[in-house]
Amino acid sequence: MLAAGLLLAAFLLFLVMRLRGQGDGEQVRVTVDGKTYGTYSLFEERKLCIRQESGTNVIRISGGTVWVEEADCPDGYCVRQGKIHRKNGTIVCLPHKLVIEVTGGGDGGQELQPDAVVH
Amino acid sequence: MGKKVATCAVLVALAMIFSYIEAILPIPFGVPGVKLGLANLVVVTGFYILRPGEVFLVSAVRILLSSLLFGNALSLLYSLAGGILSFFVMLGLKHVKGFSVAGVSLAGGVAHNIGQIAVAAWVVKNTAVLYYLPALTAAGVAAGLLMGILASRVLAVLRR
């Protein structure tokens, strides 16, 4: 029962995420330690070398996909997560506090931003 | 007293061997945090043969030592968060009627992964990490169930 319920919950969550992330993304946002490092077009060939005290990640944007080509983090998960291109697709390198996200870009990305924030 | 200490020590040693096996086994999934959780087999079994305090000690000592030997400061943080959350979930569910060993272990596996991902989101200061929540929940169900079934087999032998 519990197994079925949890699996169902996981599947529904997955489905919701998939639907939200339908279609290919347009931009790549790279975040380091919670701060935006840069936003790049998914359709421009690019090689990013992000050097930090904790180590280096080499990110490659090519052919409408983005992936981590090389990294010296201890677990190597960021490289193994492979290529992403779907909207909301994410690659994480936990040891280097690096997050790569594919966003809708253009209008889609702007819509998510609030017009104003009142404190 | 002496026998209890010895039992706990043996269990910690066993859990550490499992941790070591996990550390050298290549994981075929590209999702960080997905693993078999072999050491959890010891913790789940411990719940049914030791007092809760002793289980907690075994789990905490295991996490501390295996992170020092096979991991790093960050992996210690993730493991501790997962270990502590799954400990309390399993402790609570163990006393709920109708929960088998496998059920308790399954919930523990899921709780472990949720604890881990929460800390991961906090460490990288980015909720995008939650993208992995569905995969990690499913992995927790599978690994927890497997370890729970193994644990109930072990307990059947131990009780004889």
Q: Write out pLDDT tens, residues A19-40.
A: 776 677 888 999 998 888 989 9
Q: Look up the CATH architecture of domain A24-104.
A: Sandwich (2.60)
pLDDT number for residue B3: 86
pLDDT number for residue B55: 94
Candidate from A17, A82, A99 with C-beta closest to B124: A99
Strand order in the sheet with A35-41: A35-41, A27-32, A98-103, A90-93
Q: Which of residues 138-157 of B touch A (CB under 8 A)?
A: 138, 140-141, 145
| Parallel/antiparallel/unpaired status of strands A56-62 and A98-103 | unpaired
Asked if A14 and B141 come within 8 Å (Cβ–Cβ), the reply is no
How far does A29 lie from chain B, in Å, by closest CA? 11
Return the bridge partners of A49, or none: A58
For the purposes of burial, counting CB atoms within 10 Å of the CB of B1, is it exposed (0-12), middle (13-18) or buried (19 or more)? Answer: exposed
Q: Amino acid letter at B69?
A: L
Short-list B85, B135, B36, CA closest to A13: B135
Tokens representing B24 are 């050298």
Give the H or E element holding residue B45.
helix B38-49
Candidate from A6, A89, A99 with C-beta closest to B129: A99
Asked if B128 and A33 come within 8 Å (Cβ–Cβ), the reply is no
pLDDT at A107 > cutoff 60: no
pLDDT number for residue A106: 56
pLDDT number for residue A24: 76
pLDDT number for residue A109: 42
Asked if B128 and A11 come within 8 Å (Cβ–Cβ), the reply is no
- Band (pLDDT 50/70/90 cuts) for residue A59 is very high
Of residues B66 and A1, more confidence is placed in: B66
Of residues A41 and A24, more confidence is placed in: A41
Q: What is the pLDDT of residues A47-57, one digit of tens each?
A: 999 999 888 99
> Considering chain A, what is the average pLDDT of its residues?
81
Tokens representing A114 are 């609030």
Determine contact: A14 vs chain B, CB below 8 A.
yes
Short-list A117, A115, A105, CA closest to A44: A105
Q: What is the pLDDT of residues B40-64, one digit of tens each?
A: 999 999 999 999 999 999 999 999 9
For the purposes of burial, counting CB atoms within 10 Å of the CB of B30, is it exposed (0-12), middle (13-18) or buried (19 or more)? Answer: middle
Tokens representing A49 are 């070398």
Q: Please tell me the distance from the alpha carbon of residue A78 to that of residue A99, in angstroms, as a whole number.
A: 9
pLDDT number for residue A12: 79
Tokens representing A50 are 């992000």
Asked if A2 and B107 come within 8 Å (Cβ–Cβ), the reply is yes
Query: Which positions in chain A touch B125 (Cβ < 8 Å)?
Result: 33-34, 97
Of residues A34 and A10, more confidence is placed in: A34
**Mutation choice for B interface testing from A99, A101, A103, A112 by most B CBs within 10 A:** A99
Write down how long chain A is: 119
Question: Tell me, which fold does domain B2-159 have in CATH?
Answer: Arp2/3 complex 21 kDa subunit ARPC3 (1.10.1760)
Q: Which of residues 90-109 of B touch A (CB under 8 A)?
A: 99, 103, 106-107
Determine contact: A63 vs chain B, CB below 8 A.
no
Here the ipTM equals 0.70
Instruction: Name the closest residue on chain B to residue A9, using Cα atoms.
Output: B134
Q: What is the pLDDT along chain B (160 residues), one digit of tens a residue?
A: 788 899 999 999 999 999 999 888 876 666 777 888 899 999 999 999 999 999 999 999 999 999 898 877 778 888 899 999 999 999 999 988 888 899 999 999 999 999 999 998 998 888 888 888 888 888 899 899 999 999 999 999 988 7
Strand order in the sheet with A46-51: A46-51, A56-62, A65-71
Domains of chain A, by residue range, sit at 24-104
Domains of chain B, by residue range, sit at 2-159
pLDDT number for residue A119: 67
